[in-house]
Structure 1
Amino acid sequence: MQEIELKFLVPESRLKGLMRQTHVKSSQTTQLAAHYYDTTDQQLAQAGIGLRIRKEGDTWVQTIKAGGDGIAARLEHNAVLDNDQVQTMLNNNELMPDLTIYEDTPIATALAEFKITKLAKTLTRLYVTGVERTTRLLTESNENGTDNRIEMAYDQGEIIHGTDDSLRKDIQEIEFELVSGDLDFLFTTAKTWCKRYKLCLSTVTKAENGGLLINGQNHSPAVNVNLSQLKIDKDSSATAFIRAVVHNCLLQILPNSSAIVAGSTEDNHILQLRIGIDRLRTALKAFANFSNEINPEWLPILNQTATLLSDYYQLAYINAQIEPELQSLGAPVVDWTTDIEDIKITPINTLQANDFQITLLELIAFTMSDSSIEPQTDQLAKDKLEKTLAKQYKKFVKTNKKTDKVTDIELVSGGANASTDTAYDDQSESELLNQLRNLRYIGEFSAPLLSKKKAKKKTKRWLKRLIKAQKALEQLNDDNQYQKLYEVKSKTDANALYGAGWFAAILTGDQNHIDVRLAKFADSSTFW
């Protein structure tokens, strides 16, 4: 069967209020003791599979979870075990899952890459969990006389290392699982609780947390773009296409967001989250007419979130990456700690904001909604994509010509007008960078539908040259920003003059490199 579930982390400040709503007369409390299994090199975890044997009250249940949409839906198979047999195995320290029960079940596909007999011999218990689960059933009557039903479960406990019980990790989360009825009821309920208790979405399962404990990690590595997960075909409708694109963006956004709200301060989580949001913003703008269900309120919230993340990332990157590099070249130390601490809205504050969390929920709901009931379901995505790409490419060409003209004016004018022209040039190059970035993301989303079999090399070459041009201009833009930050810093710390001068020297050599990259891309024939 398919499990559809939304999981949230609970902020300490709202815990007491939440507990009053979870621990009501109708709620039930169950002690859960689970044993999780995998190979020593965690082959199941790498395949996105979780396997456990858990005591639920007085009953032992073997459960495997796998597949699904990577966000809220997963395949799940539960098998009730014989209590006496389990107890005997526990007494002999031989408790192991039985993989033969998955033959001829939907979960068999997820295990197809493994040789079951060999896998069974290599399984070991990696960690255990001890959880107190409080459940409450939330219901709503439908017009047709049936009920929408959600099981709300609040879990509090810990994960314990399988061979060293001194290594532990706390668990405190709340889950909403659709038992029966409409999907809308699940998301409406989750949004209500999210607003009331400032809940934060998390895609980190107990199995993933257990794996982190085993590996001595606090958070999973940052998740990059993975276009191979973009599930579309040549005959995709416009409504199905935009849902697939948003889903692909969320596969990058949600894991990185989950790590940050769980306490990660790693630069790469912030960077990859920002890239995921940039891809999503581009998609919502470029493909706005592909669906009537796109909420215009999503973009302003995503724009604000991206800006706040960028402001913090710049200073954090300077402190963690640029300063050590400059000091290795003999630069005096510049302390950016106070500057970072003075930023009132940190990444975790940004992501905990209700409007961002509600937007994520609405985007997930959008990807899971039925695209076939929309008016545009008979319009093929590829027919609309050609116009979209052509329009975006035209914008790039126009901006590129404008930037060239500004650069020429700057070279001729110099002197008294130099500062004015440079400011205008910065603005033009920033606009050009945005056009390139948008064109890249639209091209990557569109390529599977528009790239003809005989023209795959052309598509690959076009995207490769575009990405090189974008990265070159991006580097110039970043260096420009860092130079300005060091310049401002030098007014209160003379040591920052070294960094300001170093970046100024780098900037003088960047333009020729960018001109070459842009020229190569401009000479490439389009693939649509």
Structure 2
Amino acid sequence: MTEFELKLEIPPPRLASVEAALRRGMTRTRRLRARYFDTADRALAAQGVVLRLRKEGRQWVQTAKAPGSRPLERLEHNVALGNQTDPLPELSRHDGTPVGERIRQALKKHQPGAAATDLILVYATDMARITRTVRARGAVVELALDQGHIVAGDRTLPVRELELELKQGQATGAVALATTWCLRHGLWLSSVSKSEKGQRLALGQDFGAAVDAEAPRFPRHATGREVAAAVLAACLNQVLANASDVAAGCTAEENIHQLRVGLRRLRTALQDLEALAGGWGDQGDAWKAVLASVLRELGQHRDRDYLLGKLQGQIEAAGGPPVDWQGALGTLPSPADVVRAPAFQQALLGLIGFVHTAPGKGASAADDTSPKKFLRKRLARLHKQVIAQGRQFTALPEAEQHALRKRVKRLRYLAEFAQPLFAARKAAAYLAALKPLQDALGNYHDEVAALEVWQGLSGHDPRALFGAGWLSARREVHVQACQQACDLLARQARPFWD
């Protein structure tokens, strides 16, 4: 069985209003106590597999879950155990199912050659669940408000979640309903399940590690719309994982960085694959605008960390005096507030709805070409533009140098999206050839932006003149490094799409 579920986090001040709204229809209240198991070395969790024994009323149910092929989609298999007194988990109960195969792969990957595996209790949950079934756009959706806690050893974590599980119909119905609840009650989307929270609690971690980009997965015979949906799904997996932790209060530099990477990849997909997808519908322009706005706001945090952390330290190490930043930098919204913003949440939900729309519902690409041919033309044009601009990098105006940096990123992301359609080794070699230029352009752009800041700061604190001079002296070095990287790309990069 495949499960599609949206989980919304509830801020404490909104809990009462959410419960009151839920109870306006016919509801059912149950107590759910569950125990979660894994091997001693967390073999199941390492592959995203969850094994649970849950008491529902007087009955016990063993459930195994594993990641599905699209965002917020999971494979699930349930085994009713009746009213046993204290059942023990058995992996064999899921044999012969898609989840059972994932369990077998997880154990094989983590413990090669192991004949049997002992399971241990990792954490437990105790929830009061209020459920209500509603119809939305032809879909049947179960709303479930969970209040309770997770326990792992002597650690406890409170839980306040509203889950929307699709029972019948299209995922777009659940997405539309989730959007309404988010806008009315200030809720936000999270891809961090109770099982992930329990795993982190057991390990003493507040948040998860930053999630890197992943390659899209689609067969070589996929239609244009299927390729575009698979690319969006891969981008969304990275965005949702990092955005969920940032919304929960994570301020780690790498988590915010990977969120920004995911958003840039998503913007590239929306920009370059629209014709392949047959259009994004009425929401396309709004999605692009919201993603651009969130990138700018999160970018301000990244720039400030860079200026006040790494770069200020380098200038002081070169003999520069400390400068007074007090009053020179304005107040920025917290990353959590940026991610929780209703417009961003609405965009994420809309993109999820597109990814889960039944295949074939959208129009085909305008020129009705194959995805391979479509991407080959896009990549060839971008590559040609990058090489042409790169040959004269030192003579380019600063604005065009910055535009080249953006074009190189776009070329890299599009090459990664297209990789499954072409020879993997050649594609990897091309991406490796792009990296030195992207790094050189990134370093140059960072210091050009920093120079403007230090020059502006010198009017407030004359000691900033040292930093402005130091950065100005380094400019030509960076320009030459970029030119060398451009020349190297022209010599070494072999288009893998030919």
TM-score (norm 2): 0.91
Q: Distance in 2 between matches of 1:330 and 1:7?
A: 52
Q: Which has the larger radius of gyration?
A: 1
**Range moving further from structure 2, 491-500 or 299-308:** 491-500
Q: Distance in 1 between matches of 2:373 and 2:137?
A: 42
**CA displacement at 1:435 relative to structure 2:** 1.2
1:31-71 residue CA offsets vs partner (Å, 9 max, x unmatched): 22111111232111111011111122222221111131352
Q: Distance in 2 between matches of 1:344 and 1:311?
A: 8
Identify the match of residue 386 of structure 2 among 396, 399, 409: 396
Please show how residues 128-139 of structure 1 align to structure 2 within 5 Å.
Answer: 128-139=124-135
Any conservation in 1 of the 2:391–2:483 contact (CA below 8 Å)? no
1:228-266 residue CA offsets vs partner (Å, 9 max, x unmatched): xx1123222211111111111111111111011111111
User: How many residues align structurally?
Assistant: 487
Identify the match of residue 94 of structure 2 among 102, 105, 112: 102
Structure 1 residue 237 corresponds to structure 2 residue 226: no
Please show how residues 352-371 of structure 1 align to structure 2 within 5 Å.
Answer: 352-371=340-359
Q: Distance in 1 between matches of 2:41 and 2:320?
A: 44
Q: Distance in 1 between matches of 2:203 and 2:474?
A: 40
SS in 1 for 2:3: strand
**CA displacement at 1:374 relative to structure 2:** 3.3
Q: Which residue of 1 aligns with 2:495?
A: 526
Any conservation in 1 of the 2:30–2:56 contact (CA below 8 Å)? yes
**CA displacement at 1:431 relative to structure 2:** 0.8
Q: Distance in 2 between matches of 1:32 and 1:514?
A: 59
**Percent identical residues:** 31
Any conservation in 2 of the 1:155–1:174 contact (CA below 8 Å)? yes
Q: Distance in 1 between matches of 2:56 and 2:463?
A: 62
Q: Which residue of 1 aligns with 2:445?
A: 477
SS in 1 for 2:34: strand
Please show how residues 320-335 of structure 1 align to structure 2 within 5 Å.
Answer: 320-324=309-313, 326=315, 331-334=320-323
**CA displacement at 1:337 relative to structure 2:** 7.6
Q: Which residue of 1 aligns with 2:207?
A: 219
Q: Cα 1:338–1:159, aligned 2, differ >3 Å: closer, same or farther?
A: farther
SS in 2 for 1:111: helix
Q: Which residue of 1 aligns with 2:36?
A: 36
SS in 2 for 1:297: helix
Q: Distance in 2 between matches of 1:160 and 1:358?
A: 32
Q: Which residue of 2 aligns with 1:514?
A: 482
Q: Distance in 2 between matches of 1:32 and 1:307?
A: 43
Identify the match of residue 149 of structure 1 among 131, 137, 140: 140
- The one-letter amino acid of 1:387's match is K
**CA displacement at 1:17 relative to structure 2:** 2.1
**Range moving further from structure 2, 297-306 or 10-19:** 10-19
Any conservation in 2 of the 1:187–1:365 contact (CA below 8 Å)? yes
- The one-letter amino acid of 2:209's match is P
Any conservation in 1 of the 2:390–2:487 contact (CA below 8 Å)? no
**Range moving further from structure 2, 468-477 or 491-500:** 491-500
1:109-145 residue CA offsets vs partner (Å, 9 max, x unmatched): 1112226995864311111112211111112585xxx
Q: Cα 1:501–1:76, aligned 2, differ >3 Å: closer, same or farther?
A: same
Q: Cα 1:293–1:508, aligned 2, differ >3 Å: closer, same or farther?
A: closer
Structure 1 residue 265 corresponds to structure 2 residue 251: yes
Q: Cα 1:199–1:426, aligned 2, differ >3 Å: closer, same or farther?
A: same
- The one-letter amino acid of 1:527's match is F
- The one-letter amino acid of 1:185's match is G
Q: Cα 1:292–1:331, aligned 2, differ >3 Å: closer, same or farther?
A: same
- The one-letter amino acid of 2:134's match is L
Please show how residues 303-322 of structure 1 align to structure 2 within 5 Å.
Answer: 303-322=292-311
Cα RMSD, aligned residues only: 2.5
Structure 1 segments unaligned to the other structure (5+ residues): 87-94, 143-147, 407-424
1:254-283 residue CA offsets vs partner (Å, 9 max, x unmatched): 111101111111111111111111111111
Any conservation in 2 of the 1:315–1:336 contact (CA below 8 Å)? no
Q: Distance in 1 between matches of 2:192 and 2:49?
A: 13
TM-score (norm 1): 0.86
- The one-letter amino acid of 1:478's match is D
Q: Cα 1:381–1:481, aligned 2, differ >3 Å: closer, same or farther?
A: same
Q: Which residue of 2 aligns with 1:410?
A: none
